[in-house]
Structure 1
Amino acid sequence: MNTAKALLLSILVGIAAFPGSAQLVGNSLRSYDRSAPIDFAADRIEVLETEQQALFTGNVEVSQGTLDLSAASVRVLYDSSRDLSVSRLIAEGSVSVRTPSETARASRAIYDVPRSIVTLLGDVRLARGGDTLTGDRLVIDLNSGSSSIGGGRVTGRFTPASTDTD
């Protein structure tokens, strides 16, 4: 494993293990199909073949199954020795990650495709129905459907289910 990849992996592991984070579980994440094709759209695409990267800029939209991501730019890291398999997406600028029941917004997101982990960083806001959580970091494990938010003070609002019996 090269040094940059090892460093990013250790950062992601450190973020996932951040103490004091709130645990969340999203039903739509449990049914997420990580084997679905990844579709891209952008105003401009620049391929940096020697670096095995592609840079998508301007109104970038990425979708895989029921998971949608939008951002100002997305850098796609790939491995050309394995039929152009995508290893990582790094999204920046007004990032939004959506499932049918949740929306998360942040300044930056890293999607580790082989591990199926999405990490959102910077002014994170997670909304599910009328419930909201905010923090500095949100890690979503698409394998288990669980997520954690932390990286400083976590705030939120949960709306109790109606108990009206009329």
Structure 2
Amino acid sequence: MKRETGKMNGDTMVRTLRIGFSVLALAAFAAPGASWAQQAGDGSVPGLKLSNSKDPVKIDADKLEMRDKEGVAVFTGNVAVSQGDALLKAGQMTVYYSKAKKGDEAPEPANAGVGGIGSSSIDHIDIAGKVYLKSGTQVATGDTGRYDAKNQIMVLQGQKVVLTDGDNIVTGCKLTAHLDTGRANVESCKGQTKGRVSIIMAPKDQQQGGAAPKRN
């Protein structure tokens, strides 16, 4: 994790960080032509991408509700999305699709899924219920999250949002990740005098696994 210059504005501190959360790479969450009804029996979904890994993506949930006419898919209860070492866990995940405009939509296969949702692209995704994001050594937690597919922005919010990378820890109330640039802003809690961004950086020798110096 690379720490860059922070911006101070009164009691609000925004610390800009460089992070490599491939688990936030939800831009290709559902490729055109992919259909929930076409997914394999093991839960893997064609076209679904959670990281740069070539491993299949698997979605587990207690319940899946398809709102065909609304273009909405709601995963509820112990939601877990995994691909390789990337993992997303939450109580609920709601996927909102935006239908292709007339003339732009490619011919749909005869075995296309429910309501043609497979021919749609993602507009945004709402995540709620103890959100947990993990990729490699990096972990982010919060109460709710939203992914804006058009602007490639992931926002994680809560009373305490925590971003960790190994022994490095950043806490705040809002994490905004710009997926196109790999830049993220961690903001403090507004209206709280003690709501500041907290950063704990481990010593370099500790991060590299070096032994602590001996004392005489």
TM range (shorter): 0.7 to 0.9
Amino acid at match of 1:78: Y
Between stretches 57-66 and 134-143, larger displacement belongs to: 57-66
* 1:34 positional shift: 4.5
SS in 1 for 2:205: coil
Please point out which of 150, 158, 164 is paired with 2:187. 150
Between stretches 43-52 and 87-96, larger displacement belongs to: 43-52
1:37 aligns with 2:80: no
What is aligned with 1:47?
Answer: 66
CA gap of 1:33–1:75, structure 2 versus 1, over 3 A, is closer
The 5-angstrom pairing of residues 18-37 of structure 1 reads 20-29=13-22, 34-35=27-28, 37=48
Tell me which protein shows more helix as a share of its residues: 1
1: CA distance between counterparts of 2:137 and 2:203?
Answer: 17
CA gap of 1:28–1:120, structure 2 versus 1, over 3 A, is closer
Amino acid at match of 1:24: L
Amino acid at match of 1:110: R
Query: Any idea what the Cα deviations from partners look like across 1:44-74, whole Å, max 9, x if unmatched?
Result: 1001122221110011123467653210001
2: CA distance between counterparts of 1:66 and 1:57?
Answer: 22
* 1:125 positional shift: 0.6
CA gap of 1:94–1:33, structure 2 versus 1, over 3 A, is closer
2: CA distance between counterparts of 1:116 and 1:65?
Answer: 22
1: CA distance between counterparts of 2:154 and 2:26?
Answer: 14
Query: Any idea what the Cα deviations from partners look like across 1:10-33, whole Å, max 9, x if unmatched?
Result: xxxxxxxx973111112455xx58
Amino acid at match of 2:17: L
Tell me which protein shows more strand as a share of its residues: 1
CA gap of 1:59–1:135, structure 2 versus 1, over 3 A, is same
**Aligned residue pairs: how many?**
147
SS in 2 for 1:21: strand
What is aligned with 1:119?
Answer: 155
SS in 2 for 1:50: coil
Amino acid at match of 1:90: D
2: CA distance between counterparts of 1:109 and 1:27?
Answer: 18
Query: Any idea what the Cα deviations from partners look like across 1:89-145, whole Å, max 9, x if unmatched?
Result: 101001011222310000001011232211000020111110111111001112111
Question: Gaps spanning 5+ residues in structure 1: where?
Answer: 1-17
Q: Is the 8 A contact 1:37 1:64 kept in 2?
A: no
Amino acid at match of 1:21: V
- TM-score, normalised on structure 2? 0.59
1: CA distance between counterparts of 2:26 and 2:175?
Answer: 20
